[in-house]
Amino acid sequence: MLPYFAKGQVIKGFGRGSRDLGCPTANLSRDAVEALPEDFKTGVYFGYASVDSGKVYKMVMSLGWNPFYNNETKTMEIHILHEFESDFYDKELRVAVLGYMRQEKKFGSVNELIDAIKDDILQAKNELNASEFVIYRNHSFFIK
């Protein structure tokens, strides 16, 4: 099933990534979530992303219902491993999902969740240095 390529408009999420977790995320539109194959597992993934056909960056993606927050809507939340100067709502986001890291989990506290996110980011950075994944940085999917 991987690699999986998705694109969609960046929409407003719950605002928890930046505010509560110190990890800003870009939420893909509902149609991008609904286009996922039915058997696409929820959890945390790594790969690459680009905004409006710009530079391609490493990313971590959470797919699912965010059990810590008891969401009722399935979301695709992408944390791009780059610091942007401003938000990019309504822009096109393209993601190449390359690897699966872990299942969704209901953490006991916000601090446990933050620690897991930090671990996810570190793991993604390391995994994406492998030559089998680096080649996707220049994939034709990222060229509009």
| CA distance between the termini of the chain | 23
Helix (H) or strand (E) holding 91: none
Closest C-alpha to 95, from 80, 117, 83, 116: 80
Alpha-carbon distance of 71 to 92, in angstroms, equals 24
The structure tokens listed for 133 are 């994944």
DSSP code, position 40: P
Tell me which residue has tokens 């893909």.
Answer: 28
- Residue 92: HSE in the Cβ half-sphere, 13 Å Cα cutoff: 11
Active site residues per annotation = 77
